[in-house]
Amino acid sequence: MASLQQRRPASGRPSGTDGSDFSYRMVVDSRYQKVAKGKRRLGFLIFGQVVSQIIALAILFITSSEEKEFDRFAMLSISTGFLSILLGEIGRRRSKSALLRLYTSISTISVLWSVARIMNSPIYFKVMQQQSLNGLTTFELAEGGRVILSVILQVFVVVTSLGLVQNMSPKRDS
């Protein structure tokens, strides 16, 4: 019992400090906290992009095997998307703002290619003529939904990565 009382400090303050050293203690700049939150958020967004690209790849292979024709433009969009994800993950983990900027640009191009592919496909014309989703196959609906979600996800990616790059850049005093 005596040994427990010896270990407990007499007051709530650690031994050896009188509280006057507060001005010498380090305070974490809010930028670093914002960078940590931004990296975490970007990690979730990149995971969402990975899921979207895997779905696109699955739809591409299933529809290509049914139609006996391979959509090269879709494969270009998917491969560009995976390349951007790789750059984004490396940039996020290593705090490389140049890679994050490149990731944002390439992933935006990939999403725009997906949108252009949908806009030039029979899916778009069917929907515009019929003003309805009736008559679309399951894969056409899945691809359309995936592209819409990819566009929404990309908006969050751009906002998050630009904020992250801004907070990672050193502030210069004028």
Contact 145, 120 (CB under 8 A): no
Q: What is the 3-state secondary structure (H, E, C) of 79-135?
A: HHHHHHHHHHHHHHHHCCHHHHHHHHHHHHHHHHHHHHHHHCCHHHHHHHHHCCCCC
Query: What are φ and ψ of residue 135, in 5° steps?
Result: 90, -5
What is the token pair recorded at 94? 């290593």
Q: What is the pLDDT along the chain (174 residues), one digit of tens a residue?
A: 555 555 555 555 555 566 666 565 665 578 888 999 999 999 999 999 999 999 999 999 988 887 777 788 899 999 999 999 999 999 999 999 999 999 999 999 999 999 999 888 877 777 777 777 777 778 888 888 999 999 999 999 999 999 999 998 776 655
For helices 138-168 and 97-119, give the axis angle rounded to 10 degrees: 160
- Count the neighbouring beta carbons within 10 Å of the beta carbon of residue 59: 19
Helix, strand, or coil here: 82? helix
Q: Do the Cβ atoms of 40 and 93 come closer than 8 Å?
A: no
